[in-house]
Structure 1
């Protein structure tokens, strides 16, 4: 199977349906978010239509009803194509379907993750290796026992929810909590009420959710009678101040925290402290978990030792059961993206010659703990969701008036990073709010609301090298109120100051704080 995040648009779903050559689309008629029942079936109709334009025909659409016995969508059912699952299930009550035996290395699922080329990468995971890895890490990193009540407050449409809501905990027969909506509605006490009512003692969520709960209800956890023995954070680096609130207030100084680092491509955790064994360290992911051997290389392939204080590209020396098998339909891209950079002998059959490039920057402290700094490629991590800048730029270019588009990451207190968009218009097209609105709408329709830009700036021209390459590094510096550095070698250096004034104003003061590694390197990696 292949899954698509519900926040994506019908068009984004269609792209993934066509690429994966899916035969069936399983969806819901509607779902609740922030107290509102949101239409969802219409996205399925768009996905079917857009996939057909790509030459791929879906055979059937299966629909779960949010309210059993009641169809909650305004989109009409298409006879012969659409089937309501709630109506079909009674016909099969008590019937047994024998499971089909499959090889351990057969594909289990496809999970799309954004790349820098504009086309999302489809990570293919295996049955045996993936299941073994997420079951093991669920048991020993998250310390799930039969008597525990476990809650991973994440989305099943992304890898965290897939590995640590669905497969890992279910493989252990864990008692799990699944919830609908957002954690701060109707009020920021909701997660702690749920924890109290259901006796949750293992809690798993993202830094984005922790930041939001800390901002909206910093004292709420103390109002509820729950006790966590274990808490996980996942998806992006967590700031030490946020970590301390998580420990002191949410965990009530009684829960162990594991700050896990891993990726869609890796299937499960790579770095983490082990509960009860390793000391916790705010803002640090910890060492490699048992069986995982990380290494940090500089751009020339020199190993950066622990305690050097130097940041580099974190890689994994060895294969492991949860590693993705390939990029669906594109093995050459798989090898080039993840293994080619530090391979010195392309003909080698020895795994030692093929370190796995994770795409994150990191630094290793003298104690062996790794601190993850963020992406080294042009992917923006928005609230734990990886969005390819080329995907966003491509969406902007669907607006007829737009000639060029550039997207950069901006620091955000809650989401970590958010995209800001710069567009240059075609000759003769005057700047207008209407164009900005169309750019925002294009991103929401092509990708989803998760890709909504924080700001859209219409610029007279893009800062470019003499070869015509847009200098996204300069735009990222402007958006983040940092110095742009030496721009005298650009083909059009004067436009940089025009853009700076547009974004920052005439008398804008620049912060002297160093940029996070992922933003500092943004636009510098091919």
Structure 2
């Protein structure tokens, strides 16, 4: 399909800063030609490429005898490293503890500054082994699913590794889900053991995690054990079922790890499905570990002594791969952050970077947009000179935010790795390579090793070979870390990912590739609005809002665009925008009105993209509904605009549920 968005042709290329180039001697990509040669080999000869990488980066109990088994025309999920055996905890902890037990594995930044601590690899090994034995004493065995309902505390990492050490399967559930959502995930996984915390602390507020678990377990009669981390010391235990996490300290400091087959499930991670029923994505052990190790090493340029700060929760795939497995497999230090970017002040991230000399920082654009509105004066007080690589994850990053990140946080010295990937992919699919590949604001760069991205015409199902072009983004080959199935529902896995476009893995996203093959992800296909035959990316329109100015000053801090049914055009665009503080002051002083700002916002899109992309309605609101991880819940906005306010669904994951009434009132009063 031809490229409708001609703006992409004009996105400037930014050279990769040499400061981001990893130190020589550790096998990193150090120039563009090497990247191209390695990528070519990885897609044309995956057996050779990934076989060598797996033997170099992972520790095996038994070597594999076949690298890849795949079905004809990619109609089934693959199997990797057949007949090999290994253990995830050994790869993440044991080998580093044996080589250098005093190396720091975890820096814990607690909710309140100054209350954190560090764990060495030697200490981590002891704690993992002790908790593993506690789980064994409670009947957990190889193949069992253990549900982990913990915030970002070291015990979350320890729990994941302890479960893996004994060959069991961990299922981390975001510690913000409601009792009903937690119940559904426990029942679907047939989990008999839950690990939780008495109370969580976030931005100075108490989260009653244990109470949520107790409420959920009223409908989970098969759960026999609840291990409770004592964070505040408040919260009772149910005799016979509950046990204090501290009881693990009574066990020996070492226990042998259980080797598992390469394709043995390592974890389940539930993600939203279009049907409303959560999908338990099942990831294998060897393939996932290799994907985590390889991407963490090359995307972020990890070298010995590095300190990686991934501001992501273990309840989501970002926390799994780049706060836990990726850094630890590579033997570096990971920062585990319990709080929010603005607690107790909006400089908390920069405090952490300078205090611990963080080398890699990985965060979502939502957090960057939030911090950008505070300006750059406060950031200038920080050195940030330790940073080499900056990452972005979760959604496309708007050019204005990219520029702010590059110049104010990275000081022009750091590659911005605008990464694209999915829960289903396990690890990064598209990215820049630090110090090596050029960058384009808004683009996730080039494909990672083993990834062959293609564009597909959604009408014909045929690959689009021309460039520049746009279409459905699909992957034309299997890769090691891809999810193998949906837990208990392989036909749904096939229907969702492998059958929509036979011979390809369907990502569910639309994308464009420019004349230099830079990838620009437009967002989920269900976040593409079709107005009078024009397929418009909601992400593109949202980025346009952020670029809009009034009196040469930025107008809008955040925006969310949704499509609604329209009798005339098929679909219509509706937007919710949060104004910059100076405009709010102008409205309060009577110098502007909310209606004025709605009209100005519409004009921004008309001028930037075209009249066909102009929203039918723009609602000026105080805030947008977001999860605690920062994701904007556009599903809720669609329901409100459509008048389905009695069908808003699950709201327990929202960090700001109090705004729902205001959003409903704003929409209803504008009718």
Which TM-score band applies after superposition, normalised by the shorter structure? 0.7 to 0.9
Give 1:371-520 correspondences, 5 Å limit.
371-377=520-526, 417-418=632-633, 419-420=636-637, 422=639, 443-445=650-652, 449=655, 454=660, 502=668, 504-505=670-671
- 1:422 deviation in Å? 3.9
> Which residue of 2 is the match for residue 110 of structure 1?
268
**Which of 213, 221, 238 does residue 78 from structure 1 map onto?**
238
> Which residue of 1 is the match for residue 504 of structure 2?
355
- 1:135 paired with 2:300, answer no
* Distance in 1 between residues matched to 2:409 and 2:367, nearest whole Å: 12
> Which residue of 1 is the match for residue 421 of structure 2?
262
- Could you tell me whether the CA contact under 8 Å between 2:228 and 2:242 is conserved in 1? yes
CA deviations 1:47-90 (Å, max 9, x no partner) are 211334xxxx21110011114xxx223xx31000011111x023
- Could you tell me whether the CA contact under 8 Å between 1:306 and 1:367 is conserved in 2? no
- Could you tell me whether the CA contact under 8 Å between 2:324 and 2:334 is conserved in 1? no
CA deviations 1:243-290 (Å, max 9, x no partner) are 000000011111111111000000000011111221011000112112
**More helix as a share of residues:** 2
Give 1:26-37 correspondences, 5 Å limit.
26-37=195-206
- 1:194 deviation in Å? 0.9
For the aligned residue pairs, the C-alpha RMSD in angstroms reads 2.9
- 1:5 deviation in Å? 0.5
- 1:154 paired with 2:312, answer yes
- 1:296 paired with 2:473, answer no
> Which residue of 1 is the match for residue 284 of structure 2?
126
Give 1:202-217 correspondences, 5 Å limit.
202-217=360-375
- 1:43 paired with 2:212, answer yes
Give 1:307-326 correspondences, 5 Å limit.
307-309=467-469, 311-326=470-485
* Distance in 1 between residues matched to 2:481 and 2:331, nearest whole Å: 20
- 1:276 paired with 2:435, answer yes
- Could you tell me whether the CA contact under 8 Å between 1:420 and 1:453 is conserved in 2? no
* Distance in 2 between residues matched to 1:64 and 1:409, nearest whole Å: 45
Q: 1:313/1:453 Cα in 2 relative to 1: closer, same or farther (>3 Å)?
A: farther
**Which of 361, 380, 387 does residue 222 from structure 1 map onto?**
380
TM-score normalised by L of structure 2: 0.57
- Could you tell me whether the CA contact under 8 Å between 1:266 and 1:322 is conserved in 2? yes
Segments of 4+ moved more than 6 angstroms = 378-382, 450-453, 456-459
> Which residue of 2 is the match for residue 508 of structure 1?
none
SS of the aligned residue for 1:266 comes to coil
Q: 1:412/1:130 Cα in 2 relative to 1: closer, same or farther (>3 Å)?
A: farther
* Distance in 2 between residues matched to 1:203 and 1:409, nearest whole Å: 34
**Which of 63, 74, 86 does residue 228 from structure 2 map onto?**
63
- Could you tell me whether the CA contact under 8 Å between 1:420 and 1:456 is conserved in 2? no
> Which residue of 1 is the match for residue 183 of structure 2?
14
* Distance in 2 between residues matched to 1:154 and 1:45, nearest whole Å: 26
Unaligned 5+ residue runs, structure 2? 1-169, 529-537, 543-561, 563-572, 579-623, 625-629
Q: 1:184/1:133 Cα in 2 relative to 1: closer, same or farther (>3 Å)?
A: same
- Could you tell me whether the CA contact under 8 Å between 2:639 and 2:647 is conserved in 1? no
> Which residue of 1 is the match for residue 396 of structure 2?
237
Q: 1:107/1:449 Cα in 2 relative to 1: closer, same or farther (>3 Å)?
A: same
- Could you tell me whether the CA contact under 8 Å between 1:9 and 1:448 is conserved in 2? no
How many residues are paired up?
A: 408
* Distance in 1 between residues matched to 2:513 and 2:576, nearest whole Å: 24
- 1:331 paired with 2:490, answer yes
TM-score normalised by L of structure 1: 0.72
CA deviations 1:152-191 (Å, max 9, x no partner) are 1111110001010111111111111111110111111111
> Which residue of 1 is the match for residue 353 of structure 2?
195
> Which residue of 1 is the match for residue 113 of structure 2?
none
> Which residue of 1 is the match for residue 88 of structure 2?
none
